[in-house]
Amino acid sequence: MLPNVNITLANGQLGGVLQTADGVAGIVLTGVSEGSITAGTPLLFTSLADATTQGLTITNNPFAYKQVKEFYDEAGTGAQLYTMLVPNTMKVNQIADKTNAAGAIKLLNFAAGKIRLLGILTDDGSVYNVSSPVVTTNGINADCYTAAANMQALGVQFFAAQTPFRAVIGGTSFTGSSTALTDETTASDNRVSILIGDTISGSGAAVGLLLGRAAFVPVQRKISRVRDGALTNTTAFIGTVSADQYTATEVLFDKGYITFRVFPNKSGFFFSGDATCTSTTDDYSSLARGRVIDKAQILAYATFVDEVDDEVPVDASGNIDAGYAKWLEQQITNQVNLSMTAGNEISNVTCFIDTAQNILATGQLNVVLKVTPVGYASDIEVQLGF
């Protein structure tokens, strides 16, 4: 072979960005079988037209149709919405119960870990009747409170399985009394939010609308961000009172519920915030903060799962080699920076692997990964004068 210069191109050195489907939503609603839709059987919709093609009609399932329509009003055509109708005999707390194989867990398993946002609610007018009336001792359907605790347990189970999601429960049958509501800031269900308020007067809750807004925006963005514009609905009610006339919105907010609000001299309705059912000092008292950490978890798992049972160089003491530890740190920080920091979903990420861990003896690698979230200008104080 003649003397020459040979050049080869290396590939796989840049570390492509891992794609995460952050806005995939799921919803479980009470309803009846129709068309190719069977109550208790999960389906995937990608548009309202797709849902109607599969058999969903406003005539036979007005409650479910409304939620699906409002989801796509916000999220737009093409958004994925895993949907399951359950019989009108199933209460919201039973939907959330992880031991109920016919409840929300069935939809989550059907989606194979893709759902990041899950909504559940019931048509209380169909589920409850004269012989078994809805109980509203604490301002809303009391089963919603049990559902929040049940959903937290379900969320923890899927978190441990590396398929985290955040949930929204429709706070149905609101009596209109904010003082009667349980203070959710004393709870510890930080994977769950409760929405009080609907686009029509009555006992429902606009969970589909909320899911649609959350599915449309990036993970770090609050659904209550004013700059994103008003919600698509032209009417909003808190119980039976129009949201622009309801006088206790701040009480609902302070008690940890999501509801509708308006701003003087600004048209349209907005969400009041994105609180979860936990203390305001909880790191995940915000739906957005929970979604951010969920995405970081997914990226960390995807990065480190390839290292399971891989050979690890060690020093004379059996501790992990310092150079190898730095390489591993760089793998995850690069991935999170490319997937999240670059898109302003977080402010910063750091990873630390202590080299003084005897991996030869324990076979365990301990990694500390920390993300710095973005801040929010929730309270703006303006000093105005001459």
pLDDT tens digits for range 81-108: 999 999 999 999 999 999 999 999 999 9
Read off the pLDDT of each residue in 155-171 and give the average, rounded to a whole number. Answer: 96
Read off the pLDDT of each residue in 62-72 and give the average, rounded to a whole number. Answer: 98
Structure tokens at 264: 């003087």
pLDDT of residue 110: 98
The per-residue b/e assignment along 60-83, b for 16 or more CB within 10 angstroms, e otherwise, is ebebbbbbbbbbbbbbeeebbbbb
pLDDT tens per residue, range 177-196:
999 999 999 999 999 999 99
pLDDT of residue 6: 44
pLDDT tens per residue, range 273-290:
999 999 999 999 999 999
Cα 221 vs. chain centroid, distance in angstroms? 12
pLDDT tens per residue, range 6-58:
443 344 444 455 556 899 999 999 999 999 999 999 999 999 999 999 999 99
pTM: 0.92
Q: What are the CA-CA distances from residue 35 to residues 54, 61, 87, 258 (Å)?
A: 7, 11, 16, 34
Residue 3: how many other CB atoms lie within 10 Å? 4
